[in-house]
């Protein structure tokens, strides 16, 4: 296992390097002068020359790349063109709200969806099963902003139980954080609950016809034990995949939900910097997102071998 881990981490290096090259070329290969892109439409020739000099654009491209990578490795992602703050600070600020919401969403989804899927599979064809499946279709098909505004209307405006929108860091105000995180997490969870419940049901249905489930029943075990100990663990690998990818998607930003609830997260930062052509920030965000994908994929693969001893690398 440690060898496998080392191998996977080593294998991630070339992947990240390819992403880095792509991100580096993003500025250099776009038509026109990067300095002109950075400086905007109203720049004077002197300003352009100054930007070229600070960016080192007059050096050979390889030298520029090595210098850029070197800076990255020291945590220097450049400076935002709009706010003039270091990119790393900007992204770090916006990262936490997104991570918190994503964690709460995924936890909530798993807690609700897995038992739902198990019961639906166990009682296949019954009214419980139909109810779960109907909920799944709804969760998939209703747009996120509709669910979002609906929840706001009911819980924030009509019942006044929760604030309408905004964000507070849990370190400063835990109650404030919790009350503001509930609705966005619920909104996002509706899709993931639908997805995970469906996946659990489908994958459990396959497993329930297996011989070892019959053996478990022949041993005189209770149905709960048959379902959760014998069937669910064997059905878990595809479910883990959905959970993992879901988490990665949540981290890379959920623009609509962040906009609806006015949360200062990565999704909105991404959209804002694209509109403002804030290239250093976009570069950092692409690197961060691909890094998260690589990490989550590694974690998913590791979880496979924990769930199923036959999977060894």
- In degrees rounded to 5, what are phi and psi of residue 256? -60, -50
Should residue 14 be labelled a site residue for other proteins when binding is judged by CB under 8 A? Answer: no
Count CB neighbours of 192 within 10 A.
24
Site string for other proteins, 70-109 (x = CB under 8 A): ----------------------------------------
Should residue 130 be labelled a site residue for other proteins when binding is judged by CB under 8 A? Answer: no
CB under 8 A: which stretch of 25-33, 44-52, 149-157, 217-225 binds other proteins? 217-225
Should residue 168 be labelled a site residue for other proteins when binding is judged by CB under 8 A? Answer: no
Least Å from the CB of residue 232 to other proteins: 10
Least Å from the CB of residue 247 to other proteins: 23
Should residue 271 be labelled a site residue for other proteins when binding is judged by CB under 8 A? Answer: no
- Closer residue to other proteins (CB): 2 or 143: 2
Least Å from the CB of residue 96 to other proteins: 36
Short-list 311, 128, 117, CA closest to 228: 117
Least Å from the CB of residue 201 to other proteins: 16
Should residue 307 be labelled a site residue for other proteins when binding is judged by CB under 8 A? Answer: yes
CB under 8 A: which stretch of 137-145, 165-173, 216-224, 268-276 binds other proteins? 216-224
Least Å from the CB of residue 192 to other proteins: 25
> And the tokens for 228?
């959760």
Least Å from the CB of residue 20 to other proteins: 24
Among 36, 95, 103, 221, binds other proteins (CB under 8 A): 221
Residues that bind other proteins (CB under 8 A): 3, 7, 125, 210-212, 214-222, 225, 229-230, 233-234, 307-310
């Amino acid at each position: 296992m440690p060898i496998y881990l080392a191998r996977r981490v080593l294998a991630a290096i070339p992947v990240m390097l390819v992403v880095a090259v792509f991100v580096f070329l993003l500025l250099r290969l776009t038509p026109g002068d990067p300095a002109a892109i950075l400086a905007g439409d109203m720049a004077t020739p002197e300003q352009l020359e100054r930007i070229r000099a600070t960016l080192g654009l007059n050096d050979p491209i390889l030298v520029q790349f090595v210098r850029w990578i070197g800076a990255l490795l020291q945590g220097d992602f450049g400076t935002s063109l709009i706010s003039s703050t270091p990119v790393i600070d900007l992204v770090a600020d916006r990262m936490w709200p997104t991570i918190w919401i994503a964690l709460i969403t995924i936890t909530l989804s798993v807690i609700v969806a897995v038992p739902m899927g198990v019961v639906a599979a166990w009682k296949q064809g019954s009214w419980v099963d139909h109810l779960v499946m109907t909920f799944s279709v709804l969760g998939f098909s209703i747009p996120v902003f509709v669910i979002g505004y609906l929840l706001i209307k009911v819980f924030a405006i009509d019942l006044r139980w929760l604030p309408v929108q905004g964000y507070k860091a849990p370190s400063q105000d835990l109650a404030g954080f919790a009350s503001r995180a509930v609705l966005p997490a619920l909104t996002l969870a509706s899709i993931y609950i639908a997805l995970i419940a469906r996946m659990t049901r489908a994958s459990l249905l396959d497993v329930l016809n297996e011989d070892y489930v019959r053996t478990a029943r022949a041993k005189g075990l209770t149905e709960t034990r048959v379902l959760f100990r014998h069937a669910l663990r064997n059905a878990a690998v595809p479910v883990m995949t959905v959970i993992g990818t879901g988490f990665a998607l949540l981290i890379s930003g959920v623009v609509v939900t962040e906009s609806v609830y006015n949360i200062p997260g990565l999704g909105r930062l991404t959209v804002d910097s694209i509109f403002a052509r804030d290239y250093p920030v976009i570069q950092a965000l692409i690197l961060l997102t691909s890094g998260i994908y690589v990490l989550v994929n590694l974690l998913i693969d590791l979880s496979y071998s924990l769930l199923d001893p036959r999977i060894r690398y």
